[in-house]
Chains A and B, each alone.
Chain A
Amino acid sequence: MNTSVQPASTAPAINVGGGETRTSKAKEKVKMSAEAVKVFYGNTQAINGIDLEIFENEVLAFIGPSGCGKSTFLRCLNRMNDTIDICRVEGRITLDQQDIYAAERDVVLLRAQVGIVFQKPNPFPKSIYENIAYGPRLHGLAKRKAELDDIVESSLRRAGLWDEVKDRLDQPGTGLSGGQQQRLCIARTVAVSPDVILMDEPCSALDPIATAKVEQLIDELSESYTIVMVTHNMQQAARVADRTAFFHLGDLVEVDTTDQIFTNPQDQRTHDYITGRFG
């Protein structure tokens, strides 16, 4: 049992196929599911009842015009909306068949299982090392300093940041460039080894080169994690997502394999959006 907390990177065995085309991945197991989810901000309804299944180890992208509720829905998946006083969620969301909004459900544990990366990189004003070590330390995942060091290194490696920062782990995370900061935040999330990683427009604050790096990272992470991401950028969805869901005015209009959505949308609104009629 002394090797109980192995860095996740040493477990490449879980690569489930992962070929050239993202759409070919097997997706039999439902990781999360939403049934009739409605969200209210005060008296305004932001989401009108969404049913959706999220499969294990897939990359699911939410697209849609701004204000369509895709970020709001994403934040329901690990109850980040709890931090907003006036926000109310109805319906049922499950993780591994267990209701995450159930009264006895602990939100701390939930968030350790469902991590989130935000739109704007938000490294803590601490050193790079401390940024990554924060989560494992919080949850008591490392018993010794060496274990923690391992987690930090493997998380940074997974985020493709290790080589860039290994010589300055004690310097503040806020001193990195925007793209590096975002990858640091991803590494920070990965360090807790969640099952699902939510990403809320992770590249919208980044330049094209940094975006490319993060996209590549998402691609690699999808081997071991279920990833749900919100994006404004349809090309990005096409590049990285196995499946894509199109949101419009608080409704989930259509969800299907990415190929299907972009080549043969079933709904007129989806068609209009991806052909650039609005958005």
Chain B
Amino acid sequence: MSNLALLALLLVVMALAYQLGLTRSRAVAANRDVRMHSRPGYYGVLVALWCGLPALALFVLWSLLAPQLIDALVTQQLPPELVASLSQRELDVFLRRAATLAAGGSVAGGASPEELTAAAYINRLSTLENLILVALMAVFAVAGLVYARRRISPRLRARNQVERVITFALASSSAIAICTTVGIVLSMLGEAIKFFTFISPAEFFFGTTWNPRFSSSGSSAQGEFGLLPLLWGTLMVSAIALLVAIPVGLMTAIYMAEYAPAWLRNVAKPIIEILAGIPTIVYGFFALIVIGPFLSSLGDLIGINIRTTSALTAGLVMGIMIIPFVSSLSDDIITQVPKSLRDGALGLGATKSETIRQVVLPAALPGIVGAFLLAASRAIGETMIVVLAAGNNPVLHANPFEAVSTITVTIVNQLTGDMDFASPQSLVAFALGLTLFVITLCLNVIALVVVRKYRQQYE
């Protein structure tokens, strides 16, 4: 029986259990002529939960463990000399091929007799395993159902128990956010540590040459994995982006918050919001086909050699991308400055711009700095624009008109193609990712704390 069908069936049984619980609780109430603690629906739900949850837990556990069990059994069944002749990796490949055959597929290069025998055995085993699972789940479901149904009595606090389950479920979903962070840190740390067995951290963090030499080139040399050219490229592109985005974004926010008439605000705010949602690949394409050639010919005009794909192209377009982000964040911050402060300055005879520059902005400064930090974090982590428009040239130089490479570009380059998690060429992506994560984490946390303090000040 397929897993989906099994789960569907479980749902049907749970519905049945709900019905049984419902009628039972009504019967109990009518029989003894007492008031039940909870409304009948809660007894129904309680019975359904007792029926479904243990069976579901069993199912999950089983799905995790069964494949390993089958693999172990099959390996035992194989001729010992065959097992001995295979490395762990080859054995895995063998088992995977056998599993494919068992599922009715075909394998490259035709199947060997051993593989066919193993496949047949796998087939027998999985039929058996499926039967056992169905039987066990049936037992669990029925047992749970019967137990819960018998417990129904006027004093059973069904609602409280159901609510406890609900609260628990809610709490566990909020744990997912934590798990994600932990997952990010652990996965990247794990792979990065593997990488550092090939390359020492000092070489990585302070190396000035990036030349990973893909393993496919055949040379046994390790290649050089110096982070600095990439970090420098990242910072250069981000700095250009912020130079564009911060003045334009901040001035836009100021104009929107302080000068713009209501109708303009009503029109412009949704537009800005939508602009913030345009995928970065679109901006990247724009950089590649419009801005890059434009800058290049502009450079020709004034006698500077600007490459089509350069730090400047990528930075400029990234700046355009971040403008709406900066402006809507700053707008929020500026409008939070209380009107009484503006009135205070205006009442002394300040002009509007004096009020803004000398009172509103200083008051909003922490929040605005927070917004800038978030913008910087975004620029540093931005990928598609730089992949398309920065030119992928991991060399240390200070010329913004030349191509550069960034951390994100390199992650993409190193990890697309083959998924071999054993070579330093792939693993370095995780070390880079970890670096990126730590940098952005610092920026984000500082920004978040600053902004939060700022908000509390005016609440």
Contact = CB atoms under 8 A, between A and B. Distances in A.
A and B interact:
yes
Interface of A: 78, 80, 83, 85, 108-112, 115-118, 120, 122-126, 134-135, 138-139, 185, 188-189, 192
Interface in B329-356: 338, 340-351, 354
A170 to B, nearest CB: 15
Nearest to B348: A135
Given A122-B341, A125-B362, A134-B358, A108 B347 contact: no
Closest 3 A/B residue pairs (Cβ): A111-B349, A122-B340, A112-B349
B345 A134 contact: yes
B261 interface: yes
B261 A78 contact: no
Contacts of B346: 80, 83, 111
Given A138-B350, A138-B354, A83 B344 contact: no
A138 B348 CA distance: 9
A181 B347 CA distance: 16
Contacts of A123: 344
Contact of A192 (B342, B343, B349, B358): B349
Contacts of B343: 80, 83, 116, 118, 122
A111 B343 CA distance: 11
The interface residues of chain B, by DSSP majority, are classed as helix
Interface of B: 261-262, 338, 340-351, 354, 358-359, 362-363
B338 A188 contact: no
A241 B22 CA distance: 76
A122 B341 CA distance: 6
Contacts of B342: 83
A113 to B, nearest CB: 8
A118 B349 contact: no
A185 B351 contact: no
A124 B341 contact: yes
Contact of A124 (B261, B354, B363): B363
Contacts of A122: 338, 340-341, 343-344
A126 B347 contact: no
B347 A124 contact: no
B348 A189 contact: yes
A192 B348 contact: yes
Give the most central of B341, B344, B358: most A CB within 10 Å.
B344
A50 to B, nearest CB: 21
